[in-house]
Chain A
Amino acid sequence: MSASQSAVRSRAEAVKVSRTFDWLILFTLFFVILGGYHVHFMLTGGDWDFWTDWKDRRLWVTVLPIVGITFPAAVQSVLWWRYRLPFGAVVAVLGLLFGEWVNRYFNFWGWTYFPVNFVFPSNFMPGAIVLDVILMLSNSMQLTAVLGGLGYGLLFYPGNWPIIAPLHVPVEYNGMMMTLADLQGYHYVRTGTPEYIRMVEKGTLRTFGKDVAPVSAFFSGFVSIIIYFLWHFFGKWFGSTAFTQST
């Protein structure tokens, strides 16, 4: 091809082409990231996210931020460090939430008839916004990992509290004390019913009494810091433009 030839007829066309590519890229990235993030998330933290009777004060709070900070960190490592776009974490989390909500409505409710207030997804938006804002303001991967990662873990429970609180109120049912979420679970028996797989409130974190959730959140934030570092570098590797040469 000739270097003197131009691909476009005018500057106006060049701008239009550039904007069109922006939209194509955003659409594609949104749905590809959604697919990868969702399959990762549903198979590492999914059951804690599917059912309200899994949304306890310990493992839900601990596991989900740890497995959830992965893709936001990876996407940030390309969108911010290559293009200075400060919304990598939010795009990833919005994608995840879109995939989850569509599924919970059309499949969990629409195919297997679980009520939506039993299967709504967890909210990651506060943590994602904090990750993006810290990265944008500091321009530092380390600060984002340490402060953002910790914030991602710590904000998860408060960010979900207004949603889950009505289902954590105690009820007495047939002489037993339980939460409304537990009661939902007993009415909708699944192969993943917590009692069936013996994953209900086990362990000694009960020793802390009312402090189970804060301790879990703090531990989750600590691990999220490490996971952020790791996935930042994963993201950098996935963003590589290397070509393999044929021998």
Chain B
Amino acid sequence: MAATTESVKADAAEAPLLNKRNLVFAVAIYCVFYAWVRWYEGVYGWSAGLDSFAPEFETYWMNFLYIEFVLEVSTAGILWGYIWKTRDRKVMSITPREELRRHFTHWIWLVAYSVAIYFGASYFTEQDGTWHQTIVRDTDFTPSHVIEFYLSYPVYIITGGASLLYAKTRLPTYQNGMSLQYMVAVVGPFMILPNVGLNEWGHTFWFMEELFVAPLHYGFVFFGWAALGALGVLNIECQAIAKLLKKDLA
């Protein structure tokens, strides 16, 4: 009887398979942060972002850029470093239940990555189209670019890297080599950031106006395709989870 009571207590004290609080937090943090960013754009885009030679541009946009650079490098270093430092060195000997729990945590990372990708590749990228077709640029660091290229892209790169690192350091599924499509899904969208170099070079040398379908932008398109690598990750995960649940679902 006492043993049973202890067992029930242990079950009740056990961490849940899916930490819903973390899941909600992961989605909410991006939404709240980007809502604030969008408010900042709305207020200071028009009032301080039209002329890059104006002192207020330096105050509100260049300083924003410098601060985000520092924060992004720090966040990537701390987050990736933490995940690597706390890695499981006996990952192949965890219990099936613990493995299932880690798959859930991995999916919280993937959910976060999907939200980060949405804001970076969809929301702030198309936003750039309307801003630059309205305000002709006089710098590479326009209000739109300060947010799109140098904030939203690094944010999804950091999130994607963290997700990949989590899978690699904590899940038995990913111990036999490196998943090709996981790399594609993370490294491909990452390559959009270096491709900014081509974009800025072309806009500086050829034309300052915006035409979204111009061939100059096709590098972004090519690397955007890499998001489809998520299909490969989905297949790997479905196989792994099915293996864990197969006996009980039969």
Contact residues of A with B, CB < 8 Å? 1-2, 5-11, 13-15, 17-18, 20-21, 24-25, 27-40, 42-48, 50, 71, 74-75, 78, 82-83, 99-100, 102-103, 106-108, 110-112, 114, 119, 190-192, 197, 234-235, 238-246
In the complex, whether B181 has a CB less than 8 A from a CB of chain A is: yes
- Would you call B133 and A192 a contact (CB within 8 A)? yes
- Would you call B235 and A239 a contact (CB within 8 A)? yes
In the complex, whether B126 has a CB less than 8 A from a CB of chain A is: yes
- Would you call A40 and B224 a contact (CB within 8 A)? yes
Binary contact readout B12-55 vs A (1 if CB under 8 angstroms, 0 otherwise) = 00000110000000000000000000100110010000000000
In the complex, whether B129 has a CB less than 8 A from a CB of chain A is: yes
> How near does chain B come to A28, taking the closest CB pair, in angstroms?
4
In the complex, whether B86 has a CB less than 8 A from a CB of chain A is: no
In the bound complex, residues from chain B placing their C-beta under 8 Å from that of A111 are: 41-42, 45, 127, 130-131
In the bound complex, residues from chain A placing their C-beta under 8 Å from that of B111 are: 24, 27-28
- Would you call B235 and A197 a contact (CB within 8 A)? no
- Would you call B126 and A35 a contact (CB within 8 A)? no
A71 to B125, CA, bound (A): 18
- Would you call B213 and A18 a contact (CB within 8 A)? no
> How near does chain A come to B80, taking the closest CB pair, in angstroms?
20
In the bound complex, residues from chain B placing their C-beta under 8 Å from that of A191 are: 132-133, 136, 209-211
- Which of B11, B99, B129, B241 is most buried by chain A, counting CB atoms within 10 A of its CB? B129
Main SS class of interface, A: helix
Contact A43 B213, CB 8 Å, known A29-B234, A82-B235: yes
In the complex, whether B69 has a CB less than 8 A from a CB of chain A is: no
In the complex, whether B169 has a CB less than 8 A from a CB of chain A is: no
- Would you call B178 and A103 a contact (CB within 8 A)? no
Q: Give the residues from 118 to 142 in chain B that come closer than 8 angstroms, CB to CB, to chain A.
A: 118, 120-123, 125-127, 129-134, 136
Option from A29, A78, A114 in Cβ contact (under 8 Å) with B130? A114
- Would you call A14 and B212 a contact (CB within 8 A)? no
- Which of A5, A24, A34, A36 is most buried by chain B, counting CB atoms within 10 A of its CB? A36
In the complex, whether B198 has a CB less than 8 A from a CB of chain A is: no
- Would you call A192 and B211 a contact (CB within 8 A)? yes
In the complex, whether B221 has a CB less than 8 A from a CB of chain A is: yes
- Would you call A18 and B249 a contact (CB within 8 A)? yes
In the complex, whether B78 has a CB less than 8 A from a CB of chain A is: no
- Would you call B130 and A107 a contact (CB within 8 A)? yes
A110 to B43, CA, bound (A): 11
- Would you call A11 and B231 a contact (CB within 8 A)? no
- Would you call B117 and A32 a contact (CB within 8 A)? yes
In the bound complex, residues from chain A placing their C-beta under 8 Å from that of B113 are: 28, 32
Binary contact readout B228-247 vs A (1 if CB under 8 angstroms, 0 otherwise) = 11111011111101001101
In the complex, whether B158 has a CB less than 8 A from a CB of chain A is: no
A151 to B189, CA, bound (A): 32
- Would you call B181 and A239 a contact (CB within 8 A)? yes
- Would you call B231 and A239 a contact (CB within 8 A)? yes
Who on chain A is nearest to B240 by CB? A241
> How near does chain A come to B102, taking the closest CB pair, in angstroms?
11
- Which of A5, A11, A50, A243 is most buried by chain B, counting CB atoms within 10 A of its CB? A243
- Would you call A46 and B99 a contact (CB within 8 A)? no
Contact A31 B245, CB 8 Å, known A36-B224, A43-B220, A50-B212: no
Contact A239 B129, CB 8 Å, known A30-B114, A40-B224, A111-B41: no
> How near does chain B come to A49, taking the closest CB pair, in angstroms?
9
In the complex, whether B201 has a CB less than 8 A from a CB of chain A is: no
> How near does chain B come to A106, taking the closest CB pair, in angstroms?
7
Nearest 7 CB-CB pairs, A to B? A36-B227, A191-B209, A35-B121, A39-B224, A31-B114, A14-B248, A243-B177
- Would you call A244 and B177 a contact (CB within 8 A)? yes
- Would you call A40 and B97 a contact (CB within 8 A)? no
In the complex, whether B196 has a CB less than 8 A from a CB of chain A is: no
- Would you call A243 and B110 a contact (CB within 8 A)? no
Option from B172, B212, B231, B238 in Cβ contact (under 8 Å) with A238? B231
Q: Give the residues from 137 to 179 in chain B that come closer than 8 angstroms, CB to CB, to chain A.
A: 172, 176-179
- Would you call B212 and A47 a contact (CB within 8 A)? yes
In the bound complex, residues from chain B placing their C-beta under 8 Å from that of A119 are: 130
In the bound complex, residues from chain A placing their C-beta under 8 Å from that of B132 are: 191
- Would you call A240 and B180 a contact (CB within 8 A)? yes
- Would you call A25 and B234 a contact (CB within 8 A)? yes
In the bound complex, residues from chain A placing their C-beta under 8 Å from that of B93 are: 1
In the bound complex, residues from chain A placing their C-beta under 8 Å from that of B133 are: 50, 112, 190-192
